[in-house]
Amino acid sequence: MKFLILLLRLLPPEIAHSVALNALNILYIIGLSKFLFPAPTRENSFAYKNLKFKNRLGIAAGLDKNGDYIDSLGSLGFGFLEIGTVTPLPQAGNPKPRIFRFLKQHAIVNRLGFNNKGLDYLISKVKSRKYAGILGINIGANKDSEGQKRIDDYIECFNKVSPYADYITVNISSPNTPNLRALHARENFEPLFSALNIARIKLDFTKPVFIKLSPDESKEAIADIIQAVREYKFDGVIASNTTINHSGLMEQDSNKRLGGLSGKPLFKKSNALLASIHENDHDLFKIGVGGVFSPIDFNKKLELGASLVQIYTSFIYEGPGIVSKLLN
């Protein structure tokens, strides 16, 4: 497996991503994935509301943007999956190249820009899945949507995915969609949260709703959002998305430094956000994500107040074996 991962690194990152996931799909279809990547043996179930997670480890949004790999990823032993970010209309995202590896730091910088095949395509894949585990869907807005249209995009996504999602994540923190992080300011998130709350009540949607946060905001801004999450009775937050602070990277290529940084350099920054949220509101439900490569990293997220943990970059660097590594 390590040899195959090294071979994939010879390919451009975005092509390697597609090749690896399509290969995983093939292995799943022909029945080999369960032998090559046996699921973790240790049980560590966890329940929240009416959802029972077989363990506390999930895959973060962004790896499977369109729901193309739900069954194959679901066979690897994750306690839950999150797909997306999905937008109402298909969009190509930002110009390529837009994913960059930093091998020495076990890091990735991406500026993908919510590239996805659109809401109708994702829903078709979700409806045809065999995976029976917990599935979250991460929603966003199209790049050219501004003002009320941006809010309308979120509501359209919320309404259409609600029959199929075990939980919904509202992504207000991608650094690669212009002005999206402005939704961390009360004058901007208040209309969105209000509209989401109205939609949730109309649909009688009782499953969890999470807000995904940026690690680059001030403590005051985060405290304001946490207060609003409580006011609108959303379930909790995901901490965190990628960071635009690249001070931890040794490589100075400016072209590669535009975008969101994930991987090991994000660990401390995402932990600081998680700890700050937990200090602010001990009882708020939290999902920790950012820089988890070892069981020590995994447990640190739990110690800082997370009830669930997600991975992304470590899965890319280490492959499916990371699941058993973290859980056994």
Nearest to 62 by CA among 260, 264, 308: 260
Structure tokens at 149: 């249209």
Please, which residues bridge with residue 4 across strands?
A: none
* 292 SS3 class: coil
Distance CA 70, CA 126 (A): 8
Distance CA 88, CA 118 (A): 5
Alpha-helical regions (H) of the chain? 2-8, 13-29, 33-36, 70-74, 119-127, 148-161, 186-203, 219-231, 267-280, 295-303, 313-318, 321-327
Of 75, 145, 174, 314, the active-site residue reads 174
Distance CA 240, CA 293 (A): 16
Q: Count CB-CB contacts under 10 A for residue 41.
A: 9
Residue 14: phi and psi, rounded to 5, are: -70, -35
Distance CA 236, CA 121 (A): 28
**Is 240 an active-site residue?**
no
Distance CA 275, CA 298 (A): 14
Residues annotated as catalytic are 174
